[in-house]
Structure 1
């Protein structure tokens, strides 16, 4: 267990993060700019040997009208509109293979897995380029465009996530009133942003979310994506306040304060990538009904499949047709 992870301290901990005064205006303008571009949703059936799941190659227009890819997987034997789960994947990964990630459609949900632009060179391949360049950055994605909120990488990613929710709601076989978002690590951070930007989601599941209580996280960990920011600041010594001014517009705490859908959080108390205090900071700030599970002897995997079991049980009632 890390020094960050004393459970009594975690329940008492509240972040010192402060939301910028123009946070809501910034995101309203960002999403309005994206809405100018037609969604242009395209679904192409993918042939597989699966007997119980149909797979579609998905493309829709995200930030700047840039095409974003994904997979839509749905139970083959279905009747009537389906509840939907939009999933965002972990850092540096991509949407992977059509046969990956069959949990949610196997449980009866329409499942949209969104590619993260520019990523997909790590453990699962991706197919969505990021056509926007950036200034100097540390290797990875965390510092791309970090000198201004308008150019920061995650402005585009979070906008893509909102458009992914719009995309799944535009699918004929989906009930647009029964949509949830899920993710682990980076995917959890993206899902939390979507929950704060989309007001009428039905449920949220967040495993060890990245991009929460960012200033503390950078100073509390020596592993994972946050190291890219500390590495950047080690050579750009005069940029510290400018960088944290930018990151304030992308901190999960601000999105948590604006999210109202029922949410299930998890964290591993030995997590060296996303310190458990940062997950608790977002949990404490979350405005909707919420639960959190802290796994005492787990790291960044948090509860793994047991977290997913909890989510399946919770979503069964949260995504029912009843209001």
Structure 2
């Protein structure tokens, strides 16, 4: 069933933002520190058994200089100056295997898939990147409340920093045209793409697909599904921490990143999505500060458009990047 506002109200839904005064300074200092701690990335040829794609096992420096894994795929034998999609993974998943990520290289792109620190044991896509800086203090099972009383210790500070460094790693690769790099992902990956879109200048496009990590307080008020339910559970137990929780989350809200976007975006939303409710997606979409479009999947839940959305994304980028 439809789980949120009617579509005509969603299209106009543009809530006030609660961006902290030091939002820009917080992220500038965070990213500068990560760059200062970075080692050169490595791209090790990986024997995937695939005949049409070259695969490299990637290690790059993320938050705190921590090593982060990934895959780099490109059409077999490709020369330089390829457009590149940097893709982020949904909640609980890791980088999986190269076989899981063939669409973009088949479409002629270089493709960097970032592993998700500390995740990848959720039963679907395995991961290979630990989180060396696990925050102390009580938290709900999962990742949403790890370090949530302090923005400097919050889990998503580390993960969003990793994502920016993934884009910078892709841009430095000799096969990649640094002016045609795209940030993409679904669910948590879409929320990470929103953050990257607000933190990185000069992206060619951003593709947030049914994005998570947006408009947190409303999400906790209108859905009892995980992962937002992790916040609800924490606040249920720590009644005196509620405002501190949401003060921290202002630094990590896709709505606030959207207001700093400079690249065109193609969003998607599913009107029966009770995991990432439509109004939370439209809150980010309607604050997106650059050119934008959205695909609406009326009778879908959190699966969204799946490969139909991928077809839309390929067409969107073909027109935007003037590809054959």
Q: TM-score, normalised by structure 1?
A: 0.97
CA distance in structure 2 between the partners assigned to 1:151 and 1:115 by the alignment: 20
Question: 2:146 maps to which residue?
Answer: 144
What do residues 202-229 of structure 1 show as CA deviations (whole Å, max 9, x unaligned)? Answer: 0111111011111101111111210000
**Unpaired stretches in structure 2, ≥5 consecutive residues:** none
Retained in 1: the 8 A contact 2:183–2:205? Answer: yes
Retained in 2: the 8 A contact 1:170–1:176? Answer: yes
In the TM superposition, 1:160-239 aligns within 5 A as 160-239=162-241
Question: 2:108 maps to which residue?
Answer: 108
1:177: Cα distance to partner?
1.1
Question: 2:281 maps to which residue?
Answer: 279
Question: 1:87 maps to which residue?
Answer: 87
CA distance in structure 2 between the partners assigned to 1:77 and 1:84 by the alignment: 15
C-alpha spacing 1:3/1:120, structure 2 compared with 1 (3 Å) = closer
In the TM superposition, 1:231-310 aligns within 5 A as 231-310=233-312
Partner-residue secondary structure (3-state), 1:180:
strand
Partner-residue secondary structure (3-state), 2:259:
helix
Retained in 1: the 8 A contact 2:61–2:67? Answer: yes
Question: 1:34 maps to which residue?
Answer: 34
Partner-residue secondary structure (3-state), 1:74:
strand
Partner-residue secondary structure (3-state), 2:221:
helix
1:320: Cα distance to partner?
4.3
1:35: Cα distance to partner?
1.3
What do residues 148-182 of structure 1 show as CA deviations (whole Å, max 9, x unaligned)? Answer: 00000000000000000010111111111110010
CA distance in structure 2 between the partners assigned to 1:194 and 1:315 by the alignment: 18
Retained in 2: the 8 A contact 1:221–1:227? Answer: yes
CA distance in structure 2 between the partners assigned to 1:125 and 1:101 by the alignment: 13
Partner-residue secondary structure (3-state), 1:99:
helix
Question: 1:22 maps to which residue?
Answer: 22
1:51: Cα distance to partner?
1.3
Retained in 2: the 8 A contact 1:196–1:256? Answer: yes
CA RMSD of aligned residues (A): 1.3
Retained in 2: the 8 A contact 1:203–1:319? Answer: no
CA distance in structure 2 between the partners assigned to 1:231 and 1:289 by the alignment: 37
Q: TM-score, normalised by structure 2?
A: 0.97
Retained in 1: the 8 A contact 2:3–2:274? Answer: no
CA distance in structure 2 between the partners assigned to 1:314 and 1:285 by the alignment: 20
C-alpha spacing 1:85/1:37, structure 2 compared with 1 (3 Å) = same
Retained in 2: the 8 A contact 1:178–1:321? Answer: no
CA distance in structure 2 between the partners assigned to 1:57 and 1:51 by the alignment: 16
Task: Indicate yes or no: 2:132 matched with 1:131.
Answer: yes
**Count of residues in Structure 1 that have an aligned counterpart in Structure 2:** 322
1:84: Cα distance to partner?
0.4
